[in-house]
Amino acid sequence: MKQQTIILTGGGTAGHVSLNQAIIPSLLKLGYDVHYIGSEQGIEKELIGEAFPQVPFYGISSGKLRRYFSMKNFTDPFRVLAGVMQAFRIIKKVKPQVIFSKGGFVSVPVVMAAKMSGIPVVIHESDVTPGLANKIALPFSSHVFTIFEETLQHLPQEKATCTGSIIRQELFSGDKAKGLAACGFTPEKPVLLVMGGSLGSVVINEALRHNLPELLQTFQIIHLCGKGNSDKALDEMPGYKQFEYVTTELPNLLHAADFIVSRAGSNSIFEFLALHKPMLLIPLSAQKSRGDQILNANLFKKQGYAEVLEEEALTKETFIKSIHTLVSRKSEMVATMEKTQTPKTSEEMAKLILQYKK
Ligand SMILES: CC(=O)N[C@H]1[C@@H](OP(=O)(O)OP(=O)(O)OC[C@H]2O[C@@H](n3ccc(=O)[nH]c3=O)[C@H](O)[C@@H]2O)O[C@H](CO)[C@@H](O)[C@@H]1O
């Protein structure tokens, strides 16, 4: 019998790749031949290519979907068109039974090519409101899965289901002692992990670095600062350890953390919730995005999982004050997080997607 085949797509930032990273091992275990279509330059090439050498990766051309004026807005439609043709050829060769799209601008040409080829497409939305790529993909798709229940009100009722978050299995098997050792830290002092989403956040990096002397009196600090954002001058600072981006080390570092300060990308915040980490969220401002992180953060605040500090209100003083509030609410937040349902497994998610295969 011919092996069953699936194509996954999604990329641009890690937020559009993490679910794919989670389900690939399950799909392989179920005997599927898994292929990945991503962008030529995106983070997905590294994340998928390095971790899953058995999954062929195809880089295609894609345009960025901007909400603002740029000369590239005139050339990008041609890049999207080129991407559709490339994806069409890959689909014709690979002959998948289903395509799963985790969004991001690279997914748009793939979804269009899938429709042209008569292959069913399942899409996934991680944020409270659908992103632009998924809005474009919606009419071409058979079904859409969401993390937040609230997202369903923005989608056609007959083809949307909320599954909750799916967490990469390896994040649960981190080891606190190994995380502390990787940073040269001791078990005596609490650990604050600061992360600005998968790309890092200049605003959060600055707020942290301006307050380092004061914060280091209380905490040891792990700083995931984003590619190109490390500061050599701080390399030898006792109690402070910076990483631009971590992959295999992440589970140990998360287990070593007592508190987290972070952007409010949905994958990250659900990972912190699953590991019961009290968090201070500083969502990406509505001036720089569609405001999805603000909605994510406020829902977490309402449910008692997080403190929220809006980017516009971020100053040296409010940063420190919010961290103190976070510390004072630790046990109450952990107790609330402990009452949440265990997330669905990646195997369950893979099976939900496979229901839609041809
Ligand atoms: C600027 C931007 O467009 N941000 C969006 C992007 O965020 P972003 O790409 O930051 O996405 P998320 O915070 O949702 O996920 C980041 C993922 O990267 C992982 N990670 C991060 C740092 C690191 O060093 N190692 C590592 O593995 C995290 O564990 C997580 O799984 O997608 C999210 C999900 O659609 C959106 O909510 C965000 O608004």
Question: Taking the domains of the chain in order of start, what are their residue ranges?
Answer: 5-166+343-354, 172-337
Q: Decide which of 3.60.60.10, 3.30.460.80, 3.40.50.2000, 3.30.360.10 is the CATH code for 172-337.
A: 3.40.50.2000
Residue 271 to residue 306: CA distance in whole angstroms = 13
Query: Cα(118) to centroid of ligand 1, in Å?
Result: 31
Which regions in the chain score pLDDT beneath 70? 1, 65-74
Tens digits of residue pLDDT in 134-153: 999 999 999 999 999 999 99
The dihedral sign for the CA sequence 85, 44, 21, 273 = negative
Residue 186 to residue 180: CA distance in whole angstroms = 6
Binding residue numbers for UDP-N-acetyl-alpha-D-glucosamine: 13-15, 168, 198, 293
Query: Cα(302) to centroid of ligand 1, in Å?
Result: 21
For the Cβ of 76 lying below 6 angstroms from any atom of ligand 1, the answer is no
Tens digits of residue pLDDT in 152-166: 999 999 999 999 999
| Per-residue confidence (pLDDT) for residue 273, from 0 to 100 | 97
| Per-residue confidence (pLDDT) for residue 74, from 0 to 100 | 66
**Minimal-distance CA residue to ligand 1 atom 19:** 198
Cβ-contact 77, 47 below 8 angstroms: no
Q: Which residues contact 7 (CB under 8 A, 6 or more apart)?
A: 34, 35, 36, 37, 90, 91, 94, 96, 98, 99, 100, 110, 114
Which DSSP category does 117 fall into?
H
Query: Cα(121) to centroid of ligand 1, in Å?
Result: 23
Fold classification of 5-166+343-354 is: Rossmann fold (3.40.50)
| Per-residue confidence (pLDDT) for residue 66, from 0 to 100 | 59
Query: Cα(70) to centroid of ligand 1, in Å?
Result: 25
**Minimal-distance CA residue to ligand 1 atom 8:** 15
230: exposed, middle or buried (Cβ count in 10 Å: 0-12, 13-18, 19+): middle
Residue (of 182, 183, 198) closest to 271 by Cα position: 198
| Per-residue confidence (pLDDT) for residue 89, from 0 to 100 | 98
**Minimal-distance CA residue to ligand 1 atom 38:** 265
Residue (of 347, 184, 169, 358) closest to 256 by Cα position: 184
| Per-residue confidence (pLDDT) for residue 184, from 0 to 100 | 98
For the Cβ of 271 lying below 6 angstroms from any atom of ligand 1, the answer is yes
| Per-residue confidence (pLDDT) for residue 341, from 0 to 100 | 86
For the Cβ of 14 lying below 6 angstroms from any atom of ligand 1, the answer is yes
- Structure-token pair, residue 283: 């969502």
Tens digits of residue pLDDT in 242-285: 999 999 999 999 999 999 999 999 999 999 999 999 999 999 99
Residue (of 180, 170, 125) closest to 147 by Cα position: 125
For the Cβ of 21 lying below 6 angstroms from any atom of ligand 1, the answer is no
| Per-residue confidence (pLDDT) for residue 87, from 0 to 100 | 98
Q: Is-same-fold flag (5-166+343-354; 172-337)? A: yes
